[in-house]
Chain A
């Protein structure tokens, strides 16, 4: 279903390392995917998106990979910085405009 757990998975990385955050999406017909970053007490902030006709897209320090065969999405952050610490959500969209959000992952960056 669309529910997510109460306990967020956590990824801890050292400053300067690369981070990889994974997401499994639910609908094989979804054709648009977005990654959002959410800091405590704030709304989700757009990071990068990808359409289903692509399998990779790069932005500034971020790369999104899409594997439609296994319904998997990943976000790679290069040279992770303390300011990258937040909860990251993937979201999918199919045929309507509502976004379905996945389970968030908390990224903790330590010096």
Chain B
């Protein structure tokens, strides 16, 4: 399967701990996105990369959140000093930026529960 993969699929942590999630995009895709989804809502944009450059960040992305894509392939999303309000599904998507398509393909998500 060559789709978007995310690791871990589930994470339970205590408030105040740091967590890091990983996303591996579809191999030829140069754009990578992070979204957050809470129960009953649609995904909300957090940030995205084109290759290794982080091009846009949502105001939802507080200073406790940081994302990297150091080699333009996989990406990590770190949340420092987690809070209960961070509990959500964190989704990664990737796309190939060209003039013909903008389709974003999503991974299975990482479900975070902060106790």
Q: Which A residues have a C-beta under 8 Å from some C-beta of B?
A: 2-8, 32, 34, 36, 41-46, 49, 89, 91, 93, 96-104
Within 8 Å CB of A8, what residues of B?
40
Question: In the complex, which residues 1-29 of chain B have their Cβ closer than 8 Å to any Cβ of chain A?
Answer: 4, 6
Within 8 Å CB of B41, what residues of A?
3-4, 6, 104
B106 at the interface (CB under 8 A from A): yes
From B64-72, B76-84, B97-105, give the one contacting chain A. B97-105
Instruction: Identify the closest chain A residue to B47 (Cβ).
Output: A98
Q: How far is the CB of A40 from chain B (nearest CB, A)?
A: 11
Within 8 Å CB of B55, what residues of A?
97
B42 at the interface (CB under 8 A from A): yes
Within 8 Å CB of A46, what residues of B?
103-106
- Most B CB contacts (10 A, CB to CB) among A7, A32, A41, A45 go to A41
Q: How far is the CB of B49 from chain A (nearest CB, A)?
A: 10
Instruction: Identify the closest chain A residue to B111 (Cβ).
Output: A41
Determine whether the beta carbon of A97 is less than 8 Å from that of B102: yes
Determine whether the beta carbon of B102 is less than 8 Å from that of A4: no
A100 to B45: give the CA distance in the assembly, Å: 7
Q: How far is the CB of B39 from chain A (nearest CB, A)?
A: 8
Partner of A6, one of B40, B44, B95, B111: B40
Determine whether the beta carbon of B43 is less than 8 Å from that of A98: no
Q: How far is the CB of A72 from chain B (nearest CB, A)?
A: 17
Determine whether the beta carbon of A102 is less than 8 Å from that of B42: yes
A-B contact pairs, 8 of them (CB 8 A): A3-B41, A42-B108, A44-B43, A91-B42, A93-B102, A97-B31, A97-B104, A99-B33
Within 8 Å CB of B103, what residues of A?
34, 46, 49
Within 8 Å CB of A91, what residues of B?
42
A96 to B21: give the CA distance in the assembly, Å: 24
Determine whether the beta carbon of B43 is less than 8 Å from that of A97: no
Instruction: Identify the closest chain A residue to B100 (Cβ).
Output: A51
B74 at the interface (CB under 8 A from A): no
